Chains A and B, each alone.
Chain A
Amino acid sequence: MSTTVADRRPASLRLALGAFLVFWLILAAFPFLWTLWGSFKVEGDFFSRADWMNAVSGTLTEAETGAPFTGDGYYGAWVQEEFWRAGLNTVIVTVSVVVISLTFGTLGGYALSRSPYRYAFWLLIIALVFRAMPPITLVSGYLLPFFEWNLWGHLPTTIIVLVAINQPFTLWMLTSFFRNIPKDLDESAMVDGCSRFQAFRHVIIPVMWPGVITTGLFSFLLAYNDFAVTSMLLSRENLTMVPKIESFLGTTQTRGNVMFAVASVVSVTAPLFILVMFFQRQIVSGLTAGAVKG
């Protein structure tokens, strides 16, 4: 888009907008940089009673460990408290959730996008209502049956629950995506003698990847960021990273555990940074996909 007349702004306005933007960027990014910096300090510096400048200079860190930076928080969290186990669980849960919910979602979303009947619309409305319900309300429905049938605490249970909670959103997103793929494409394949599934397999699957990747990113975020389901449905040894952080907070009486939490918070945030860095375009297009079309 070229700069048009309407885009030209007086210098004073541009200055004001620029200043506001700098303020917002500080607001958005500073907390993360501060916590990253502080995670290499000891607790007395990051939570400084005397002077907040200690967190920058690391006075106590130097006195306690002999260097201005220390990896004690990371060592304590990852090795001592076995945060790597939680990390492994998170990998298992997120990968399975993304793969399964995309498989279910592409099939269902494709069906919804190609059905001219009224029930397809009603299914989407039901999905919208399901999407609106806070996951924790469902969790109170899971607990009793899961205890009864000994399903509670295991990773597969949590995976399938997260897949289900993910479905409404996945369906909405993929339906709107498949609607943008011209019907003629698969219908002409069916005229040539393909069955519906063959048409899907040979014609739709090769062209669907951009939409699937975008949807997959959001499924990943949902599974990775979830706290309500994972903290209630997993036993202590099966916890994923996010509820594990919360368990560090529960034991703040013992010194040093807050710094474990700080270190693990940074560890949890790092993959998200990388994700945004590589997939910024897809995330932005995914956020706007449903909206801009109205």
Chain B
Amino acid sequence: MKHRSFFWFFLPTATAMLLFIAFPIVSVLIQSVYAPHEQVIIEVENCGPFGCTATTTVDQEATRALREAQPMGRFVGLDIYFNRAHLAVSEIGALWTAAPDLGTFFSRLLGLPFYGALSFTLTYTFLVTPFSLMLGFVIALSVNALPRILRGPTIFFSLLPMIVTPLVGGLILFWMIDSRGVLGAFFQYLSGDPDLSVKASTPMMWVMLIVYGIWSSAPFAFVVYYAGLQTVPQDTLESAMIDGATRWQRIRYVMLPHLLPLTTFMALIKIMDNFRVFEPIISFQASAHAQSLSYFIYSDLGGETRLLSSAAATSVLTIIGIVILLSPVLVRTWRSFGKA
């Protein structure tokens, strides 16, 4: 295709992505090095250079004028990145010198908001991704053993946890594990503790969020593995049988290698999706026990005081995080293209 016609065909999608993905990234970068104007700055001008205490006599007009003149706020460089709500460099230094051993250091480190969110996001990503792939694979093997007529309805019901809106799926599970819900009652019966409440305990909340994650992403792995199983070469399977391979050996040495490219593909997609985990935390009202990076940004953006700069800094750190996570894949894609 000629460059000129390529340009015209690609123009609409390029404009959309440039305006609403590329520019916002720039906008986020800029916002993250500006902080909102403080009202007290104006006061200094009003009541003289010395002895001006923080009174409530804020010059509203001057504040507004300043904010209108410079809507970005004042330039603060990388301060926001290093403050307590983000990388918390000085706090970590203090913790490091104060902590008696590594364990205490890490537990206190996770008390800092950004590191807490990061640790949950990473835990979630690296537990949900492998477990949902495994569950999906076992479901695919089982469905593959079903008589043909039963497969359609089974696939239909298996798709539901994935297709349903994440917020809605989370709510449905949350209402069931509520201490007054059906699963909550079941847990209380199992543990023999009538006051047991998942909502009240941090470890149980984490477990529930991860269970929700596996529940909602296993169908994707199932469908892809199921399609992959249809393409496993039957000749190879049969020759493996003739060579005396057991059922397990056939799975291990024929099917799994055949499905490996699928597994990398799905792991890539699932890491991207799980890293943005967000809605279940809202559904489970879990923000007191677990925050993800996305939720951290959301809670900064929402509410009465929109902390745009803080959210922007977290956003930039999140984007850096996802690029680091994906870098092996990107490098590999780049190399394989170089060869071809």
Cross-chain contact B176 with A292 (CB below 8 angstroms): no
The 8 A CB mask of A183-195 against B (1 = contact, 0 = none) is 0000000000000
**Which of B96-155 touch A at CB < 8 Å?**
135, 138-139, 141-143, 145-146, 152, 154-155
Write 29 A-B pairs (CB below 8 A) sorted by A numbering.
A1-B230, A5-B241, A18-B142, A24-B135, A24-B158, A25-B158, A47-B181, A52-B181, A104-B13, A105-B13, A132-B275, A132-B326, A134-B275, A134-B322, A137-B318, A138-B24, A139-B297, A141-B23, A141-B25, A141-B315, A142-B20, A144-B71, A145-B27, A164-B16, A225-B167, A227-B167, A276-B159, A284-B227, A287-B224
Contacts of A272 in B (CB 8 A): 163-165
Does B223 make an interface contact (CB < 8 A)?
Answer: yes
Does B1 make an interface contact (CB < 8 A)?
Answer: yes
How many chain A residues touch B (CB < 8 A): the figure is 105
**Nearest chain B CB to A122 CB, angstrom units:** 9
**Nearest chain A CB to B219 CB, angstrom units:** 7
Does B339 make an interface contact (CB < 8 A)?
Answer: no
Most chain A C-beta atoms within 10 Å of own C-beta, residue among B8, B175, B266: B175
How would you classify the secondary structure of chain A's contact residues: helix, strand, loop or mixed? helix
Cross-chain contact B159 with A31 (CB below 8 angstroms): no
Does A95 make an interface contact (CB < 8 A)?
Answer: no
**Which of B258-288 touch A at CB < 8 Å?**
261-262, 265-266, 272, 275-276, 278-279, 282, 285
**Which of A256-294 touch B at CB < 8 Å?**
261-262, 265, 268-269, 272-273, 275-277, 280, 283-284, 287-288, 290-292, 294
Contacts of B318 in A (CB 8 A): 133-134, 137
Contacts of A139 in B (CB 8 A): 297, 301
Contacts of B8 in A (CB 8 A): 197
**Nearest chain B CB to A39 CB, angstrom units:** 10
Cross-chain contact A52 with B182 (CB below 8 angstroms): yes
Contacts of A290 in B (CB 8 A): 265
Contacts of B185 in A (CB 8 A): 48, 52
How many angstroms between the C-alpha atoms of A110 and B1 in the bound complex? Answer: 10
How would you classify the secondary structure of chain B's contact residues: helix, strand, loop or mixed? helix
Cross-chain contact B238 with A107 (CB below 8 angstroms): no
Cross-chain contact B238 with A5 (CB below 8 angstroms): yes
**Nearest chain A CB to B260 CB, angstrom units:** 9
Range for the number of chain B residues in contact with chain A: 35 or more
How many angstroms between the C-alpha atoms of A29 and B138 in the bound complex? Answer: 18
How many angstroms between the C-alpha atoms of A111 and B272 in the bound complex? Answer: 26
Which residues of B pack against A, CB within 8 Å?
Answer: 1-3, 5-6, 8-10, 12-14, 16-17, 19-21, 23-28, 31, 71-72, 135, 138-139, 141-143, 145-146, 152, 154-161, 163-168, 171-173, 175-176, 178, 180-182, 185-186, 215, 219-220, 223-224, 227-228, 230-231, 234, 237-238, 241, 247, 250, 261-262, 265-266, 272, 275-276, 278-279, 282, 285, 293-294, 297-298, 300-302, 306, 308, 311-312, 314-316, 318-319, 322-323, 326, 330, 333-334, 337
